Structure 1
Amino acid sequence: MRNSHSLRWAALAVLLVAEAMNLLDATIMNVAAPAVHADLGGPVSAIQWYGAAYTLPFAVLLVTGGRLGDIAGRRRVFRAGTAVFALASLACACAPTTGALLAARAVQGAAAALVIPQTIGLIRALFDGSELARALGWIGPVMGLAAVCGPVLGGVLTHAASWRAAFLVNVPLGVGVLLATPLLSEDRSPRRPRLDPLGTALATAAAGLVTYPLIEGAGLVRYAVTWTAGLALAALFALHQRRRDRLGRSPLVEPGLFADRGFPAALLCSLLFFAVATGLTLVVVVQLQLGPRIGVLPAGLTLLPWSCAMAVASWYAGARLVPAYGARVLHAGLGVLLAGVLAAVAVYAVVPAGRYPWPLLPVLAVCGAGQGLFTVPFFTTALHRVCPHETGSAAGLLNAVQQLGSTLGVALLGSVFFARGAGAAFGTAAGLLVATGVAGALMTRCLDVGVKSYGRAHANR
């Protein structure tokens, strides 16, 4: 493979399409969910479950998916995950009931957890030297483009055909990726780790118990029982990981990552931030379709200022701000996003529920700019002092917590919206952002990330 320059870059395109396909599926569903609910019926909480059923298995199986690639070969696991994802997408498009759709969405999330962890390793197998840096540099722009196109594509497909078309679009994409997988070089870890089925089961059960009452609603007793059980299983998971580490049995999470308070603070920061970012986009599109009843296409287009501002701010932060100001850009991004969220609270307080909130459009652009400013320095900061042998586990855990945060954000902010309205949901998000700022301050202080380290990191790219 290394003897053909054009084939290597074609293979990179295959990997990027697969990554974008998984991101598009999550963002498309946020826009199409009210239309799905109107067609299939069921409880209103199903609108939240359509997203959570995908992101929850995606989150808890990401690390296991990476381990399977190390053991069985990344190209083989990538191919299997893509095939299952395409078939599950077809099942989603044909789902006759809410239960069938939720089951197919869960399979989609599990398949995505097989695909996404393989891409970095497969890119490293294709490129080296300066070409590797250029190839990895394409991931951010492509993901940004997918984030911009997702809401619009979801609105266009649902408006022009039906919500089922939003799932069917994955089928030809998946088939195309499968046909092109011979371009990829097989790659696996020289040191094959072991799987941890018990650890995966404990993590899945704990996340499910924490998420379920947020979506379904419950009395105080049920909240206390389910959350206590979830936290107990999370504690058992931590003890299990320490035991596997002592026995030399490849824990899912490297315990050494928690020796420094900075990395746990980074995990909390990621959980809270992505809960806000994902939960609010759902609130916006659902409110527009259930309040002013403007239709799925205008609702999707309403998110365009957020997505475009995020893409522009991400580029400018990476090119100019982060090399010059380092981790301070992260805190600036949180401040900008908080300002946008508070402005949205004011908009929802002034604009009647039955009218289209035109003042919300520039406010959403401010929110998107804040998200773009935050995300670029965040991952560099979080991984600043991670040891080389812990990098894979740390990156996988950060991505898993990001997806878990998205799940909790849809559950919590969606529930607040259905109970008290969009303004209350944005107000709750403002409180979460304050907590995110505290976690971010602890992270940067513990990891001691300075401007010079950012300058060196960007100079070496």
Structure 2
Amino acid sequence: MTMTLDAPSGVTTENTLVAKPYRWRWPALFVILTGSVMELLDMTVTSIAGPVMRASLGGGTAMIQWLGVAYTLAMVSGLLTGGRLGDIFGRKRMFLIGAIGFVAGSLLCAVAVSPEMIISARVVQGLFGAAMVPQGLGMMKEMFAGKELQSAFGMFGPVMGLAAVGGPILAGWLVDADLFGTGWRMIFLINLPIGALAVLAAVKFLPESRPGGSLTLDIPGALLATTGALLIVFPLVQGREYGWPLWTFAMMAASVVVFGVFAWFEKRKSRRGGDPLVEPGLFRKRSFLAGMATGTIYFAAFSGFGLVFTLYLQLGLGFSPLKAGLTGVPMSLGMIVGMGLVQVVRKHGRKVLHTGALIMAAGVVALLSLLGPETGPWLIAPALLVVGIGSGLIMGPYFEIALSGVEPAEAGSASGALTSLQQVGGALGMALLGTVFFDAGTADPTGAAQRTFWVVAVMVMLTFAVGFLLPKRIRDVESAG
């Protein structure tokens, strides 16, 4: 869809040339980055603060899993329609709605007094975050062109990397510092001033935009996809506490049926000239299906590993939230190194991803062999660094490789599907590996962590195996045809 800007920036309609770039494009980029960082931080903070939050609010061990899973599932359901809403109602408007709603959700999290309230508030955060984040990329393409656009996109990697490193440390420090007696609640309260400044800056600097065509929302498709994800995640999280009754397995089986109905519905909608969430033709491309399978397994392994690792540090080794956050820094730094290396070896395509999987699996195995009652941050730092480098080598080229077999007309739909799948994989990983960890019993946390990390290693090697179905080389979508 063509978008136009109602600003004296020279960014005009599809039939006119750009006279000059949008005046406030660099301050606008800062606003977009601020929103993305705020969303990313809140995706990770509960992994560090989860045990403390459970001690404060009560609830079972599943409550710790739901803090992340509820947010992620809400993001999935919102991302399926968030970008489309920006096309329909204007990206600046949807960014503001998303940012304001995200801040409101943060306030609800901060004042929560029960597990049910905090989980519901996390859903609110996720939904509005999904309305906010997709708008930024669309506006960047409107405001920048050529080398400036490359520079703008290039800023995302370092900023997101710094957020990945600093997020757990910030969360741990805020919990330990207990500012004004707020304890863990400050990890959400800090969003209020940051979000307020982001909203004010967005009003001033973001370009006004309006849709240049007509689109409709595929609400039934979004509901079917979200229902399918919930049907498999809910029993994985709650099944252990309920003793794995028959209905938990029935729900997981039903999810397969629902996803089948979703695929049928999308195909039918496309044949009738509608606007499906996912172009049905993508499901006939082996490379795209392989990309979906590879991404689901990898992101499940990565997200589940992160959750269980922080739980082990706090519940098993007795680390404070701050110490746990600092202990994970080598892995974040390794990811930055791995993603940097990808820029050098990008031409080798899926071999880069395969190398990353082998390195990550080796790091996980080395880490689990080092776990024990006397384990300290410095002892496991080299293994964590290796895990991070391997993960960066997987994640860095993944989206480009998975999109290499996609036609230009399908690129938007494919990108949205893979981004949503990343969130679904993360939710599945937190649900599955969190359950494996708690099933092993907290009486022997080291044994539970080792058992879980063996599962992670197997999942990473499965990523390696399925990766052979991906295209060998990265092919730019723009030149596909």
How high is the TM-score relative to the length of structure 2?
0.89
Rate the CA distance shift 1:340–1:188 in 2: closer, same or farther, 3 A: farther
CA contact (8 A) 2:235 2:249 kept: no
> Is the 1:117–1:396 contact (alpha carbons within 8 Å) kept by the matching residues of 2?
no
Match of 2:197 among 162, 176, 189: 176
Task: Name the residue aligned to 1:322.
Answer: 346
Q: What amino acid does structure 1 have at the position aligned with 2:356?
A: G
SS of 1:116 mapped into structure 2: helix
Q: Which has the higher contact order (CA 8 A, sep 6+)?
A: 1
Aligned to 1:192, what secondary structure does the other structure show? coil
Letter in structure 2 aligned against 1:306: M
Aligned residue type for 2:455: T
Gaps of 5+ in 2: 1-6, 10-19, 441-447
* Residues 188, 434 of structure 1: alpha-carbon distance in 2 compared, 3 angstrom cutoff: farther
Give the Cα–Cα distance (whole angstroms) in 1 for the partners of residues 377 and 148 of structure 2: 47
Q: 2:311 matched to 1:286?
A: yes
Tell me, yes or no, if the aligned pair for 2:83 and 2:135 is still in contact at 8 Å.
Answer: yes
Bigger shift: residues 201-210 or 191-200: 191-200
Contact 2:295 2:421 in 1 (8 A): yes
Q: Deviations over 1:240-287 (max 9, x none)?
A: 111101111100111111121110110111111111111111111111
**Aligned-partner Cα distance in 1 for 2:86–2:324:** 39
2:12 is matched with which residue?
A: none
2:462 to 424, 435, 441: 435
Pairing of 1:27-38 with structure 2 (within 5 A): 27-38=44-55
Pairwise mapping of residues 21-170 of structure 1 onto structure 2 (< 5 A)? 21-161=38-178, 162-170=183-191
Q: Does 1:227 align with 2:252?
A: yes
Structure 1 equivalent of residue 431 of structure 2: 411
Q: CA deviation at 1:52?
A: 0.4
Instruction: Give a deviation string over 1:373-412, Cα, whole Å, max 9, x none.
Output: 1111111111112222211111111110001111111111
User: Cα gap change, 1:38/1:224 in structure 2, threshold over 3 Å: closer, same or farther?
Assistant: same
Match of 1:344 in 2: 367
The structure-2 alpha-carbon separation of the partners of 1:195 and 1:449, relative to structure 1 and needing over 3 Å to count, comes to same
Q: Is the 8 A contact 2:171 2:187 kept in 1?
A: yes
- The 3-state SS of whatever aligns with 2:451 is helix
Shift of 1:355: 5.0
Match of 1:248 in 2: 273
**Whole-angstrom distance in 2 between the partners of 1:327 and 1:230:** 31
Contact preservation (8 Å) 1:126, 1:184: no
The amino acid that maps onto 1:165 is: M
Contact 1:18 1:177 in 2 (8 A): yes
Give the stretch that moved more between structures: 47-56 or 182-191. 182-191
CA distance in 2, matches of 1:393, 1:51: 26
Q: Does the CA-based 8 Å contact 1:274-1:405 persist in structure 2? A: yes
- How far 1:220 moved relative to its partner? 6.0
Q: 2:78·2:127 contact (CA, 8 Å) conserved in 1? A: yes
- Report the Cα distance in structure 2 between the residues aligned to 1:175 and 1:152, rounded to whole angstroms: 23
Moved over 6 A (4+): none
Q: 1:13 aligns with which of 25, 30, 33?
A: 30
The residue type equivalent to 2:236 in the other structure is: L
Number of the residue aligned with 2:445: none
Q: Which amino acid aligns with 2:435?
A: S
The structural deviation recorded for 1:7 is: 2.2
Asked if structure 2 preserves the Cα contact closer than 8 Å seen for 1:347 and 1:357, the reply is: no
Alignment of 1:233-382 (within 5 A): 233-318=258-343, 320-323=344-347, 325-348=348-371, 351-352=372-373, 355-356=375-376, 358-382=378-402
Query: Kindly tell me: are residues 220 and 356 of structure 1, through their superposed partners in 2, closer, same or farther at Cα, counting changes over 3 Å?
Result: farther
Contact 1:158 1:296 in 2 (8 A): yes
CA contact (8 A) 1:148 1:311 kept: no
Q: Distance in 1 between matches of 2:468 and 2:298?
A: 13
CA distance in 1 between counterparts of 2:52 and 2:36 reads 26
Secondary structure of 1:96 counterpart? coil
Deviation of 1:141 after TM superposition, in Å, equals 1.7
Look up the equivalent residue of 1:321 and give its one-letter code.
V
CA RMSD of superposed structures (Å): 1.8
Return the TM-score normalized by structure 1.
0.93
- Amino acid aligned to 1:441: F
Q: Structure 2 counterpart of 1:206, which letter?
A: G
Look up the SS of the partner of 1:359 in the other structure.
helix
Q: Are the counterparts in 1 of residues 228 and 255 from structure 2 also a CA contact under 8 Å?
A: yes
Q: 1:371 to 1:6 in 2, by over 3 A?
A: farther
Instruction: Flag structure 1 segments of 5+ consecutive residues without an equivalent.
Output: none
Please report how far the alpha carbon of residue 60 of structure 1 lies from its aligned counterpart in structure 2 after TM superposition. Answer: 2.4
Deviations 1:43-101 (A, max 9, x none): 11100000001001101221211110110111111110010000100110111111110
Deviation at 1:219?
Answer: 2.2
Partner Cα distance (2:418, 2:209) in 1: 23
Question: Do the aligned partners of 1:279 and 1:414 also contact (CA within 8 Å) in 2?
Answer: yes
What's the CA shift for 1:5? 6.8
